[in-house]
Amino acid sequence: MKGREMDLKHHYKLRVQNCVGTILDLHKAIFTMGEAAGFRSQFKELEQAIQEMDMSLVTEGDILLVEKATNALFKELTPIFESGDLEVLCAGMKS
C-alpha cells in the first residue's frame, strides 16, 4: 500500500505542477519580461512552494480545487483572447 500511496501523491504533485506550468506559459505568452516581473516572481515562489509541499497531506479534493481554479481562470480569460483585446488584460495587471 505504501508504494501505491507514494505513486498517488507523486501523481497529485504532477497535476498541481501542470496547472501552475500552464498558467506560467500563458503569462509568458501575454507579457514581456519587464511588464509583470512581480507577477512572475510570485509564480516562481509558488513553484518553489510546490516542490516543498508535504504531499502526504494532499487529497484528491485538494487537487480538484486547484484544477477547478485553473480552469476558472482560463474561462475568465477566454473572452479577452477571443476578442484579441489583450491590452485590457495587460492594463489590469499594471495596476
With contact defined as beta carbons under 8 Å apart, do 9 and 55 qualify? yes
Whole-number pLDDT of residue 94: 47
Model pLDDT for residues 6-28, shown as the tens digit of each residue: 788 888 888 988 888 888 777 77
Predicted model pTM: 0.64
Number of domains in the chain: 1
**Residue 17 structural domain:** 2-94
* pLDDT for residue 38 is more than 70: no
Whole-number pLDDT of residue 89: 54
CA angle 86, 88, 92 (to 5 degrees): 120
Whole-number pLDDT of residue 37: 61
Name the average pLDDT for the chain: 76
The CA distances from residue 27 to 6, 15, 30, 93, in Å, are: 32, 19, 5, 11
Whole-number pLDDT of residue 68: 93
Model pLDDT for residues 72-93, shown as the tens digit of each residue: 988 887 887 777 665 555 554 4
Check residue 66 and report its DSSP letter.
H
